[in-house]
Structure 1
Amino acid sequence: MRMLLNVRIPHEPFNTLVREGTAGEVIGRILEELKPEAAYFTEQNGTRGAVLVVNLDDPSGIPALAEPFFLKLNADVELRVAMVAEDLMKAGLESLGSKWK
C-alpha cells in the first residue's frame, strides 16, 4: 500500500549532526533502508521536514518506517494512505455515489 510518511525534524539533534558533518550520512542511511519511491525535503512549521512516498505491504512494517526518524533525529512522524489517479479510478465512485444518494 502506498503511504505518505510525513516527518518533522526538530532543530536538535539535527543542528548538531550538521555541525559534526554527519547529517547527510544519517539521512542517507535512513533513505537507503526505507527505499522510498520519492523523498522531498521541506520546511514544516518552522522546522526541517520531509515527505516520503513509501510502500507498506503489512502494518507490522510501520515501526521499520518510523523508528529510524524517532531514534536518530528525535522526529515526529505521521503516516497516511495515499492513492494515485489510477487507484482513484478503480475505487468505484460511480456505484458509491448511487448507493449514498
Structure 2
Amino acid sequence: MRVLLTGRMDNDAANQAIADGTMPKLLQSLVEQIKPEAAYFTTTNGQRTCFFVFDMQDSSQMPAIGERLFANGMSVAIRPVMNLEDLQKGLAAIDR
C-alpha cells in the first residue's frame, strides 16, 4: 500500500542532530530502509519536516520505521495515500 510518512522534528533535537552529524545518517538509513518513490523536505509550523511516499508491504513495518524516528525527536504520521491512477481506479469501481 502506498503511504505518506510525515516526520516533523523538534527544533532542539534537529539542531543537535545537525551539529553532531546524526541527521544525514538518520535520513540516509531511512531512505535505504523504505526506498521512497518521492522524498520532500520543508518546514511546517516552524519545524523541519520531511515527507516520504513509499510502498508499505505490511503494517508490521510501522514500528521498525517509527521507533527510530521517535528516538530522534520526531513526531511521525503514516497514512495511506493515492496517486491519480489509484483514484481513477477507485472511482471507476464505485457502483452507481
The two structures share one fold, judged by TM-score above 0.5: yes
Partner residue of 2:17?
17
1:52 and 1:70 map into 2 onto residues whose CA distance is 16
1:77 and 1:3 map into 2 onto residues whose CA distance is 12
Q: Which residue identity is paired with 2:26?
A: V
Partner residue of 2:35?
35
Q: Deviations over 1:31-69 (max 9, x none)?
A: 222221111011011100001001111111111221221
Query: Percent identity over the alignment?
Result: 35
Matched residue SS, 1:91: helix
2:68 and 2:11 map into 1 onto residues whose CA distance is 17
Shift of 1:3: 0.2
What's the RMSD between the two structures over aligned residues?
A: 1.7
2:81 and 2:64 map into 1 onto residues whose CA distance is 19
Q: Deviations over 1:12-46 (max 9, x none)?
A: 22211212233212221222222211110110111
2:25 and 2:94 map into 1 onto residues whose CA distance is 49
**Structure 2 spans left out of the alignment, 5+ residues:** none
Q: Deviations over 1:57-100 (max 9, x none)?
A: 111111122122111x211011111111111111145744x3xx
Q: Point out the structure with max Rg over C-alpha.
A: 1
Partner residue of 1:91?
90
TM-score by length of 2: 0.86
Matched residue SS, 1:57: coil
